[in-house]
Every structure is written in C-alpha cells, then in structure tokens.
C-alpha cells in the first residue's frame, strides 16, 4: 500500500488519495500532525545499513522493515507539539527534527517521491534564479531573472506568474494542451538536472505572447495533471 505524507489541508494529497482508491490502490494517509505526536522514534545507522521505526500515537508504525512506497508532500517538520515542550530550546529542537526527518526519509528503503534534500523535505526549493538557470540548460525558453543590490532580498520569493503548469515525473511529462509539445523534452531534462523525480514547471506568456518558463516546484498541484497524473504516480510507485 502506498503511503501519502502530507500537511493538513493539502488538497492535492486528498485528491490523490481518492484517485489512488479509484485506481484500486488505496493509500495510507499520514499527516504531519500524526508525525508531530509520534510517541517513539528509532533511527539507526550501522555500516551501510540504516533503519527507521516511528510509532504514531494511534498505534500505526512506519517501519523500514515493512517499507511502503511514499508520496512525500511534507514541506517542513511539524512542530506544534514541540513548541509546548521546548521552551527556549524551540529553535534548536526544530533544527534537530528537520535533521532527523531529512535522514529517515533519505534512509527509507522503498521508493519515495520526492526524496528529501537539505533544502526541502519533499525536494529542493530552489531560488527562482536557479530554476531559470537550470531551465535554460534544459533547453526551455526562460523568463530572465534580474537581481541587484537595489532589490529587496525577499522579493525573490514572491509569487511567479503561472498560466500553465507541466508535471514531470521521471522520464514522463504531462503538458497542458496550451503549451508547445516541444517543451516536453526540456521539462524532463529540467527534472533530471534538478535531480527531482516529481516536478511542477510553471509557464507564462511574455508581452508578445510567447511561452516561457517562470518557475518550478517539487510540490506541484497534482490536480492540474488530472487523472493522468494520478495514474503516472501510481505506476511509478507500483
């Protein structure tokens, strides 16, 4: 059975669970709130072997000894329970838990889409300038990224325009009909360069109506891909 890890309120995750059920692949749902209140953690590394056992408050166990494939949509470590306990050590405790999540998700012996990175638990949340640079290397037309000392540092993280989103998974891609089909190879190449199995790639039109890539995300809105996205994921995790 596939396990879907996600944040509470993640509409894509709920939708995916429904679609998996419709495909005859019911999923086990584990939210970050479930992990937040886990009662037992056991993560071991010995030589080149790593193991994980997490016991949730409701009695379920996530164990590498009986590892299920995972759709990983955790964006950050849950910390509500920890906030109550940690006091002035809260910031330190969050760093510790992020380091632990990064390690156990990396160690999980079954397929995980996406694997964690130090820059994001469900994949690398890259700066827009990096996506632009990788997009160009992948052969996609890109919206130029410009930055100077006169820009506010946080302007980079503002919403990038997305009139259409392609979803790449491994060597497959779902392109909305409005996008040139020739973008398909570039999207697959971008996911490869980014070392990110599942990638949403945003496009918008410039002033002259030409499509260009504006950003990408390891946590795409899967509903944009419809039934084919769910089927693609189910096949990848089979």
Binding stretches for other proteins (CB under 8 A)? 40-48, 50, 82, 85-86, 89, 92-93, 95-100, 102-103, 106-107, 117-119, 124, 127, 129-130, 132-134, 136-137, 141-142, 144-153, 156
Cα dihedral sign for 176, 111, 118, 38? positive
63 or 103: CB nearest other proteins: 103
Min dist. Cβ of residue 128 to other proteins (A)? 9
- Among residues 20 and 131, whose Cβ is nearest to other proteins? 131
Instruction: Report whether the peptide linkage leading into residue 71 is cis, meaning its omega lies within 30 degrees of zero.
Output: no
Which helix (H) or strand (E) segment is 199 a member of?
strand 198-205
**Secondary structure letter of residue 122 according to DSSP:** T
Q: Which of 111, 141 has the CB closer to other proteins?
A: 141
Q: Which is nearer to other proteins, 45 or 110 (CB)?
A: 45
Length of the chain measured in residues: 238
CB of 19 to other proteins, least distance (A): 32
Least CB distance from residue 179 to other proteins, whole Å?
18
99, 110, 122, 167, 177 from 186: Cα distances, Å: 33, 28, 22, 12, 16
Least distance between other proteins and beta carbon 18 (Å): 33
Termini Cα distance of the chain: 9
């Amino acid at each position: 059975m596939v396990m879907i890890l996600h944040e509470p309120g993640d509409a894509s995750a709920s939708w995916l669970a429904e679609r998996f059920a419709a495909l005859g692949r019911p999923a086990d749902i584990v939210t970050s709130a479930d992990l937040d209140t886990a009662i037992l953690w056991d993560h071991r590394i010995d030589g080149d072997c790593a193991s994980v056992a997490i016991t949730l408050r409701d009695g379920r166990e996530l164990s590498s000894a009986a590892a299920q494939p995972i759709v990983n949509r955790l964006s950050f470590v849950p910390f509500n329970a920890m906030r109550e306990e940690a006091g002035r050590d809260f910031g330190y405790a969050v760093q510790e838990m992020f380091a632990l999540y990064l390690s156990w998700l990396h160690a999980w012996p079954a397929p995980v889409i996406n694997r964690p990175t130090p820059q994001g638990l469900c994949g690398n949340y890259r700066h827009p300038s990096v996506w632009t640079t990788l997009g160009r290397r992948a052969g996609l037309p890109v919206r130029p990224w410009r930055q100077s000392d006169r820009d506010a540092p946080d302007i980079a993280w503002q919403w990038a325009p997305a009139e259409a989103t392609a979803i790449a998974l491994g060597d497959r891609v779902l392109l909305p009909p409005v996008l040139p089909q020739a973008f398909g190879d570039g999207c697959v190449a971008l996911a490869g360069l980014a070392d990110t199995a599942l990638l949403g790639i945003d496009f918008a039109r410039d002033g002259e109506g030409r499509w260009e890539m504006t950003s990408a995300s390891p946590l795409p809105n899967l509903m944009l891909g419809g039934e084919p996205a769910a089927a693609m994921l189910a096949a990848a995790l089979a």
